[in-house]
Amino acid sequence: MFKNKTAIVTGAAKGIGYGIALALAKERTNVVLADMDESANEKSAKEIEKETGSKCVAVKCDVSKKEDVDNLVKTAINEFGTLDILVNNAGIFPSKPFLELTETDWDKVIDVNLKSVFLCSQAAAKVMRDGSKIVSISSIASLVGFEGLTHYCASKGGINGMTRALALELAPKKINVNAIAPGLIGTPGVDAGLNDEAKKQMLTMIPWNRMGLPEDIANAVVFLASPQSDYITGQVIVVDGGWTLR
Ligand code: NAD
């Protein structure tokens, strides 16, 4: 389905981004893995290339920096000639009570989670051809509130709004722009941020009675990156085991 296509996946060194890069590579996509963590990213690119036989390139990139993002897109074009799929996945979720949030805390989360989607999507859309796909990883925190995550909820709500507006602007170029809103997914980021008690408490919120896996999100990304979703644009698709149903 994706033979000879090229994807950029940001935050691909681990967690959901790694799962997405692996799933796209299994579909024969060339994958450019972008991450700030250079050594983990290079290791991940080698692992995925070995497992799938698809070409993988690791690029060190801080997605909140325009210079890094421009270099990322340039590298994808230099290596593979085209850019067909952009997955805006890199993100951070540090928890802090609202009254203790500093301006620096706020700016950091907005820059990494939201400004990055502007920088990457703009740089990519400039070189993408008709039929290309942009998929951003939002969160159910864009739809319901979470204490200690006001800055994060704002950043993910921003992604949803941007997804709808950008889908309109890029429709004439036949570029689909969609987002996925994951629930609780087992990743290194979640392991570092939640203790076992908090995870147990969260499980009671999930009708499916399990945490999601990176593959659960990757499967939705593969669909939104494929021609099978050509008539879907500007949507936020919730993948949360039913968390937000009640
Ligand atoms: P993670 O912390 O396990 O992995 C994130 C990756 O992004 C890391 O490899 C990290 O090095 C990279 N990264 C962080 N800042 C970066 C930057 N400035 N530039 C480039 N790379 C950067 O996180 P995860 O749980 O896999 O989350 C991935 C995405 O999914 C995030 O946008 C997150 O908000 C979203 N999400 C996660 C969950 C969840 O439960 N895990 C739920 C909803 C949404």
Average pLDDT of every residue of the chain: 97
How far, in Å, from the CA of 4 to the mean position of ligand 1? 27
- The verdict on the CB of residue 11 being under 6 Å from ligand 1 is yes
CA dist 70 and 9 (Å) reads 14
- The verdict on the CB of residue 139 being under 6 Å from ligand 1 is yes
Q: What is the pLDDT of residue 4?
A: 86
As beta bridge partners, residue 10 has: 34
CA dist 205 and 21 (Å) reads 29
Q: Is-contact 91 188, C-beta < 8 A?
A: no
Mark whether 152 is an active-site residue.
Answer: yes
Minimal CA–CA distance to 218: which of 23, 29, 31? 23
DSSP per residue, the chain: --TT-EEEEET-SSHHHHHHHHHHHHTT-EEEEEES-HHHHHHHHHHHHHHH---EEEEE--TT-HHHHHHHHHHHHHHHS---EEEE---------GGG--HHHHHHHHIIIIIHHHHHHHHHHHHPPTT-EEEEE--GGGTS--TT-HHHHHHHHHHHHHHHHHHHHHGGGT-EEEEEEE-SB--HHHHHH--HHHHHHHHTT-TT-S-B-HHHHHHHHHHHTSGGGTT--S-EEEESTTGGG-
Minimal CA–CA distance to 124: which of 215, 32, 24? 32
pLDDT tens digit string along 142-192?
999 999 999 999 999 999 999 999 999 999 999 999 999 999 999 999 999
Residue 138 has pLDDT above 80, yes or no: yes
Atom of ligand 1 nearest to the CA of 63: 19
Residues listed for the chain? 246
Residue 2 has pLDDT above 90, yes or no: no
Atom of ligand 1 nearest to the CA of 188: 3
Residue 1 has pLDDT above 80, yes or no: no
Residue 224 has pLDDT above 80, yes or no: yes
Q: Which of 16, 152, 170, 211 is catalytic?
A: 152
Residue 207 has pLDDT above 90, yes or no: yes
How far, in Å, from the CA of 89 to the mean position of ligand 1? 6
Q: What is the pLDDT of residue 91?
A: 98
